[in-house]
Amino acid sequence: AQSVTQLDSHVSVSEGTPVLLRCNYSSSYSPSLFWYVQHPNKGLQLLLKYTSAATLVKGINGFEAEFKKSETSFHLTKPSAHMSDAAEYFCVVSGGGNQFYFGTGTSLTVIP
Amino acid sequence: NAGVTQTPKFQVLKTGQSMTLQCAQDMNHEYMSWYRQDPGMGLRLIHYSVGAGITDQGEVPNGYNVSRSTTEDFPLRLLSAAPSQTSVYFCASSYSIPQRGGRETQYFGPGTRLLVL
């Protein structure tokens, strides 16, 4: 069975400060893990993905995530938040099955 | 490439009406899927298809039908709309099929916002 838990439904940071969005996963297989971003009234855009290569994955717009098998985590980080980062972020797990499993999302607010 | 396209963008239905949400992709992707997005619940899989002529149910299939007559198109049909189907619907596609070990990204359409009164 596979599942994803996003530990925070809402995160608020000041512009220029670091961003941390937390994701834990459960998978019976060697998983693929993804982070997607959704800006208001928009579709989903892929930020980055992990597919069993390097455990530190770099994505677009300065985001990166680290796959930690021992902690079953795939947290998303960015060193310095920008106003344009305000959006909904989804952690997704896939692998060994025929579905992508979405977390419930984390809403990121960036305070000027 | 247009990617994944969805029509309409917005729709208002009355309870009991039927309609079809259209989805098309021009990337020759095998795998296509439909999700609904509801507040606080992330995206939940409704139906998916692993190729033309092959469809299967996802997590929340009740009240919806799909067919896949071509690689490009994957319409979602609401047979008799209910207020509980008010949601945002996303279509997605990917090149390879996940259960074959594919690690490909899913590409999402812009969504259809549906309101059922």
CA B53 to chain A, closest CA, distance in angstroms equals 17
Look at residue A81 in the predicted model and tell me its pLDDT.
97
Asked whether the bond before B8 is cis by omega within 30 degrees of 0, the reply is yes
In chain B, whose CA is at the least distance from the CA of A44?
A: B108
Kind of pairing between the strands at B112-116 and B10-13: parallel
Residue B63 near residue B79, CB atoms below 8 Å: yes
Q: What is the pLDDT of residues B36-91, one digit of tens each?
A: 999 888 899 999 998 899 999 988 999 999 999 999 999 999 999 999 999 999 99
pLDDT tens track, chain A, 112 positions: 778 999 999 999 999 999 999 999 987 777 889 999 999 878 899 999 887 778 899 999 999 999 998 999 999 999 999 999 999 999 998 865 557 888 999 999 999 9
| Residue among B44, B56, B105 whose CB faces A34 most closely | B105
| Tokens, residue A75 | 């947290």
Q: What is the DSSP letter of B104?
A: P
Distance separating alpha carbons of residues B75 and B1, to the nearest angstrom: 20
Contacts of A98 in chain B (CB under 8 A): 48, 50, 56, 97-99
Backbone angles phi, psi at B100, to 5 degrees: -90, 10
Contacts of B59 in chain A (CB under 8 A): 99
